[in-house]
Structure 1
Amino acid sequence: MVTSYRFIARRRGLAATGAAAALALTLAACCSSSSDSSSMPGMDRGSKSSASASPSASQAMGDMPGMDHMARGNGLSDTRDGYRLISKDATLPSGKQTAYRFTVTGPDGRPVTGFALDQTKRMHFYAIRSDLTGFQHIHPTMAADGTWSANLSSLAPGSWRLFASFTPEAGPGKGKDFVLSRTVTVPGDAAKAPLPAPATSTQADGYTVTVKGEPMAGMAHPLTVSIAKDGKPVTDLEPYLDTYAHLTAFHEGDAAFAHLHPTTKVTGDNGGPDLSFHAELPTSGNWRLFLQFQTGGKLHTAALTLRVG
């Protein structure tokens, strides 16, 4: 009888040891899974999507128009990684064309004069009022000393944010996209316009622009834009900035910037009606989208509010 009790006690001890080992393995697996979660799509919001992509995936993305660079930050600062957007202009006049002058200095404090081409331009400059009206997309000119001049159309009174998007050709930031911004005040009686409600389509110059897709904040998501006129699909889109359409977005409330990269390749003067974009909008809420496309040598701009969950 004593032997039987000893045998039973030994079996119970082994079972308890096995259970403890199994629990340890389970906890280790959970910790490992948690540490690897950043490699899941959309789980590492602070890193570039290409960082965890396989070589073949990275190469495929690099072959798409606009996918060789990813913007750094949301553009709400005038400084990033040692690069700074500098301007003496704190106010601009209302109701007339005006020039905004600025320089970009590097980590050494000197004006940067070497910029790489990005969608056929060395500098993309944007202006948007705090209520996300008055959108302007300009390609400024640079003097030999690194001073840029952006010729702005008439500005309505209010607070404006001005963005400079560029890629250094050399130095620590070589090959990296930067978006820096500063604010200016346009004196006068500023009447704030309400943001149009989210919609899936809008009209511009007789064209109907429809957006399909439901992007989630911080996650890469495909977005499709379709263009029609008089109820018929448009197939005569002309190349504009090395693509068939340029898509920019600004976030309601803080005017955070995002450039939605085109993934439809240009094959001639016969683009459309459907265009694909790589959308990666960092925060939820309403985003005001501005789509620019060209037909018959004329540039059209369509605006639409997109809700991001």
Structure 2
Amino acid sequence: MIVSSRCLSRRRAAVVAVVPVALALVAAACGPDPGSGHHASVLSMDHSSVPATSSPMPGMPGMGAMDGLSSEQAGYTMFSSAATLPSGKATDYRFTITGPNGKPVTAFAVTQTKRLHFYAIRSDLTGFQHIHPTMASDGVWTASLAALQPGTWRLFTQFTPDTGSGKGQDFVLSRTVTVPGPVTPVALPEASTSTTVDGYVMNVSGELKAGTGSALTVTFAKAGKPVTDLQPYLDTYAHLTAFHQGDQAFAHLHPETKVHGDRGGPTLLFHANLPRSGDWRLFLQFQTEGRLHTAAITVHVT
């Protein structure tokens, strides 16, 4: 469709979303130029505290898919009746993912060896848990959580439908729950370029810019020597998840280093696309000698 220069000027002067419908209206106004099964109670929930996000165009991620701060995206919804969870003891959290037709989704594509990834994080970005729930035949998922400390927690699901309008599209949906009891907030550690866990030292480098794909490099060492015995974990040598200070926006940093055997390291490359500026808490999970390690580090995004 060709629009005259007079019409383009009029469109630039108005602050509007550029969508096919708007383009058609402008063209029409200006004319053509002469020269786009169990725990059934899980299916009730209160959306009042869930921020709204716009739905994406088919096959394209929307803001909800980018930051995970909504329970609904493009007709897919994370449902749960649980508004509170007990403090100080292991507990199960049950939920469903419903599709645009309102029915539980039961067909999920395998992503990094799992059909669904589940994360729990407290509002001060402590208590990180990465779980792989089990799904019953009726589409009800059960996530077995380790003991939670009092406070407000956000629970994330990351998945890719294998059927329906969202087939092949990545989604991240979340809900919040309250764990009752006296809350003792933990201050976020300052941004750093290195962290240590279980004797492993990880050095992190890269210039991270909000909303832009950036390269992040992680180098592993132990006892002053390069680590070369990283074992495959979730179809990669390390799994990296990030949460934004303040609103808990979610990001999964995709590994660029391909698995080429049973021993990886010492340097891994990740693709980071963090949607907010500010401080992010990164959780790096890797495996050696059959043991899973979880390291945490704060990075700053400009």
TM-score by length of 1: 0.78
Distance 1:206 1:269 in 2: 21
Q: How does 1:44-83 map to 2 (within 5 A)?
A: 72-83=65-76
Is the 8 Å Cα contact of residues 127 and 148 (structure 2) preserved in structure 1? yes
Name the amino acid aligned to 2:224.
Answer: G
Structure 1 counterpart of 2:266: 273
Q: CA deviation at 1:226?
A: 0.6
Answering whether residue 249 of structure 2 is matched by residue 252 of structure 1, we say: no
Distance 2:56 2:270 in 1: 20
Residue of 109, 112, 117 corresponding to 1:116:
109
Residue of 219, 227, 236 corresponding to 1:243:
236
Residue of 118, 136, 149 corresponding to 2:142:
149
Distance 1:183 1:134 in 2: 14
Q: How does 1:156-175 map to 2 (within 5 A)?
A: 156-175=149-168
Structure 2 counterpart of 1:63: none
Paired residues, what number? 249
Structure 2 counterpart of 1:90: 83
Q: How does 1:221-232 map to 2 (within 5 A)?
A: 221-232=214-225
Structure 2 counterpart of 1:189: 182
Answering whether residue 293 of structure 2 is matched by residue 300 of structure 1, we say: yes
Residue of 188, 200, 216 corresponding to 2:193:
200
Residue of 127, 146, 171 corresponding to 1:178:
171
Percent identity of equivalent pairs: 66
| Residues 235-291 of structure 1, C-alpha deviations (whole Å, 9 max, x = no match) | 000000000000000000000000000000101111000000000101100000000
Q: What is the DSSP-based 3-state SS (H/G/I as helix, E as strand, rest coil) of the residue aligned with 1:73?
A: helix
Answering whether residue 93 of structure 2 is matched by residue 100 of structure 1, we say: yes
The higher radius of gyration belongs to 1
Is the 8 Å Cα contact of residues 198 and 304 (structure 1) preserved in structure 2? yes
Distance 1:293 1:228 in 2: 13
**Runs of at least 4 residues off by over 3 Å:** none
TM-score by length of 2: 0.79
Residue 228 to residue 262, structure 1, CA distance change in 2 (3 Å): same
Q: CA deviation at 1:165?
A: 0.5
Distance 1:137 1:83 in 2: 21
Q: CA deviation at 1:87?
A: 0.4
* Farther off after superposition, 136-145 or 71-80: 71-80
Distance 2:219 2:192 in 1: 14
Structure 1 counterpart of 2:210: 217
Distance 2:224 2:87 in 1: 39
Is the 8 Å Cα contact of residues 237 and 271 (structure 1) preserved in structure 2? yes
Q: CA deviation at 1:71?
A: 8.6
| Residues 206-246 of structure 1, C-alpha deviations (whole Å, 9 max, x = no match) | 10011010111111111100111011110000000000000
Distance 2:174 2:291 in 1: 28
Is the 8 Å Cα contact of residues 56 and 74 (structure 2) preserved in structure 1? no
Answering whether residue 122 of structure 2 is matched by residue 129 of structure 1, we say: yes
Name the amino acid aligned to 1:261.
Answer: H
Q: CA deviation at 1:72?
A: 2.1
Distance 1:74 1:213 in 2: 21
- RMSD (Å) for aligned C-alpha atoms: 2.1
Name the amino acid aligned to 2:96.
Answer: T
Q: What is the DSSP-based 3-state SS (H/G/I as helix, E as strand, rest coil) of the residue aligned with 1:163?
A: strand
Distance 1:119 1:308 in 2: 26
Distance 1:273 1:267 in 2: 13
Distance 1:94 1:168 in 2: 33
Is the 8 Å Cα contact of residues 239 and 255 (structure 2) preserved in structure 1? yes
Name the amino acid aligned to 2:267.
Answer: D
Is the 8 Å Cα contact of residues 194 and 204 (structure 2) preserved in structure 1? yes
Structure 2 unaligned blocks of 5 or more: 13-54
Structure 2 counterpart of 1:59: none
Structure 1 unaligned blocks of 5 or more: 1-23, 32-45, 52-69
Distance 1:265 1:233 in 2: 18
| Residues 24-82 of structure 1, C-alpha deviations (whole Å, 9 max, x = no match) | 9xxx9xx9xxxxxxxxxxxxxx999x99xxxxxxxxxxxxxxxxxx9922100000000
Q: What is the DSSP-based 3-state SS (H/G/I as helix, E as strand, rest coil) of the residue aligned with 2:158?
A: strand
